[in-house]
A = this chain, B = another copy of it.
């Protein structure tokens, strides 16, 4: 931690700061510059509330130098990337870049089965679908709950695809964990720390979406909740951040991919569907994500977007998904990855 004193701070103010630092069990190291003095603090800065020091007389500001996450840090694995398997042959962080596809909501048993078959046929690797839906509008469809989970399980049975589905609240984690191959934590719950802890205490991998207003630093700190609770299998997912842009529902920040790769060993998935909100932008952004080095893709698909119960605007059709995976496989090859199952890449 570096404490920057104001230009013109008095010696006694510097002394008071140094005293407080020592009182916290850390070591102070003042450096007198030409214009101002800074106090370098040696020791574990996670023990200190920098904000408190910022209020001391004569202090201009406090700058942290250590990351607040440890288990998520790349250094925790000596620079090696984690590879996280959600089902045999479907792992994130390796050469294969799996595609998770499916509808926003599980609408009915027939519907999710048809979706699963389309996903399977397209060459994608996992099925997504919501049984519990967080809806902005309280009067909108909220999902089929446990019935929806059963429908997902039946679709898995029929196709062999692993299923990824969202959990909304700690008390439902056990239930969802029984059915799902991978739990999803959505953007609106990205700082629901009780939910993160609960997901950290069950055995299934977690697809953990970035909050739409979280910095990368905050995101990794929050991921640490899951890791610290005992679950090492966290898959990160960038799905768009909130900005002034209005041509998309969110701004998909693809630089999160290389940035996260330089900071953490956890794999990074991109969701171009929520990240743009418009089906017409999904294919280009999916290809861009692949080229940026993403370790997986999450794509909304619906057999009949016109009649989807939720998120029709951002769902692509089964045909579009099939075409997309062909083109993704080509881009994957260009960056030394693979995508698509048993397919010839031209």
A binding-site residues for B, Cβ under 8 Å: 2, 4, 7-8, 20, 29, 31-36, 38, 40, 42-44, 46, 49-52, 54-56, 60, 63, 65-66, 68, 75, 134-140, 168-171, 188-189, 191-195, 211-213, 215-218, 221-222, 224-225, 228, 241-248, 251-259, 262, 275-281, 284-285, 287-293, 305-314, 327, 330-331, 333-335
Measured CA separation A192–B102 after assembly (Å): 24
In the complex, which residues of chain B have a beta carbon less than 8 angstroms from the beta carbon of A258? 280-281, 284-285
In the complex, which residues of chain B have a beta carbon less than 8 angstroms from the beta carbon of A290? 291
In the complex, which residues of chain B have a beta carbon less than 8 angstroms from the beta carbon of A36? 65-66
Whether A243 pairs with B247 at a CB distance below 8 angstroms is no
Q: Given B44, B49, B310, B335, which contacts A34 in the complex, CB threshold below 8 Å?
A: B44
Q: How far is the CB of A227 from chain B (nearest CB, A)?
A: 8
In the complex, which residues of chain B have a beta carbon less than 8 angstroms from the beta carbon of A170? 169, 171
Asked whether A284 and B280 contact (CB < 8 A) given A34-B42, A56-B306, A138-B224, the answer is: no
Measured CA separation A243–B279 after assembly (Å): 24
Q: Given B63, B139, B251, B313, which contacts A243 in the complex, CB threshold below 8 Å?
A: B251
Whether B213 pairs with A49 at a CB distance below 8 angstroms is no
Q: How far is the CB of A85 from chain B (nearest CB, A)?
A: 25
Measured CA separation A135–B196 after assembly (Å): 12
Measured CB to CB, the nearest residue on chain B to A226 is B138
Q: How far is the CB of A168 from chain B (nearest CB, A)?
A: 5
Q: How far is the CB of A293 from chain B (nearest CB, A)?
A: 5
Asked whether A192 and B189 contact (CB < 8 A) given A38-B65, A56-B306, A259-B248, the answer is: yes
Whether A215 pairs with B244 at a CB distance below 8 angstroms is yes
Measured CA separation A68–B308 after assembly (Å): 19
Measured CA separation A308–B54 after assembly (Å): 12
In the complex, which residues of chain B have a beta carbon less than 8 angstroms from the beta carbon of A252? 253-255
Measured CB to CB, the nearest residue on chain B to A51 is B313
Measured CB to CB, the nearest residue on chain B to A249 is B51
Q: How far is the CB of A58 from chain B (nearest CB, A)?
A: 13
Whether A255 pairs with B191 at a CB distance below 8 angstroms is no
Measured CA separation A217–B63 after assembly (Å): 16
Whether B242 pairs with A313 at a CB distance below 8 angstroms is no
